[in-house]
Amino acid sequence: METKQLPVLEAGEYAGGLWYYEPHVYMPYRFVLGKPGRRPLVCIGINPSTAQPGALDPTVKSVERLAAANGFDSWIMFNVYPQRATDPNDMDQTPDRALCDENLRWLEAVLSQTQPTMWAAWGTLIEKRAYLPGLMREMVALTREKNIPWVTIGKRSKKGHPHHPLYLRKDAAPDPFDIEEYLDTCF
C-alpha cells in the first residue's frame, strides 16, 4: 500500500511578516496564501489573482479583515482552481489535472495541520467553467472526511451561490453552510 506524502504548511518570512505562501515565489498559479495560525478561516474562491505576501488585492484584504472581525486567529486564501487570472474569463478552458492534484494535496495539508473553518466564497464565478463544480466536489470530499465545518458570509445569489468576499460589510458574520445540500441543488 502506497502512503501519500503531504506537503508541510510552513510559514516563511516575506514582506509584512510571516506568511503561508505556496509556491514560495510568484508563479502563474498559487495554492496557498495566508497568515499562520491554528484556527484559520479558509476562504475558498474560484481562482487566485495577483495577491502575494505584502501585496494583497482587495478580495484578499476583505478575507483578512473578516477573519479578524469574526474571531479567527488567522486566515488562508484557497481556490477551487489554482491558475492565476485577474479576469476569470482567462482561466484555462480545460483544467490542468496536475495543478488540480497539487491543489488538493495542499488543501489536505491545510486540513491536517490546522483546525479550519471553510468559507464558501466563490460567488457566481463557479459558473465560469464547466469543470469548477467537479473540482469543488473533490475539495468537499476532503473536508467531509475530517468533518470540517463550512460557512458563508453575506446573502447568497438568486441561484444559491455563496457571496464573493469583495463587497461584504465590515461587520458581516459567518452563517453555517450546508455544502452538501448546495452541491445537490445547484449542480
Q: For the segment 24-79, what is each residue's pLDDT rounded down to a tens digit? A: 999 999 999 999 999 999 999 999 999 999 999 999 999 999 999 999 999 999 99
Q: How many C-beta neighbours within 10 Å does residue 80 have?
A: 24
pLDDT tens for each residue of 78-117: 999 999 999 999 999 999 999 999 999 999 999 999 999 9
Q: What pTM did the predictor assign? A: 0.95
- Within a domain: 7: no
Can you give the pLDDT at residue 105?
97
Taking the C-alpha atoms of residue 33 and residue 60, their distance in angstroms, rounded to an integer, is 9
CA atoms within 13 A on the CB side of 95: 21
59: nearest Cα among 180, 135, 153, 128: 153
Q: Look at 2-11, 33-42, 147-156 and tell me which has the smallest mean pLDDT.
A: 2-11
- Within a domain: 83: yes
- Within a domain: 65: yes
- Within a domain: 105: yes
- Within a domain: 180: yes
Tell whether the model's pLDDT for residue 3 goes beyond 90.
no
Is 12 within 8 Å of 24 (Cβ atoms)?
yes
- Within a domain: 154: yes
Taking the C-alpha atoms of residue 103 and residue 145, their distance in angstroms, rounded to an integer, is 17
Q: Determine the structural domain holding residue 140 and report its residue range.
A: 12-186
Whether residue 23 is preceded by a cis peptide bond, meaning omega within 30 degrees of 0, is yes
- Within a domain: 4: no
Is 127 within 8 Å of 153 (Cβ atoms)?
no
Query: How many independent structural domains does the chain possess?
Result: 1
- Within a domain: 147: yes
3-state secondary structure the chain: CCCCCCCCCCCEEECCEEEEEECCCCCCECCEEEECCCCEEEEEECCCCCCECCECCHHHHHHHHHHHHCCCCEEEEEECCCECCCCHHHCCCCCCHHHHHHHHHHHHHHHHHCCCEEEECCHHHHHCCCCHHHHHHHHHHHHHHCCCCEEEECCCCCCCCCCCHHHCCCCCCEEECCHHHHHHHHC
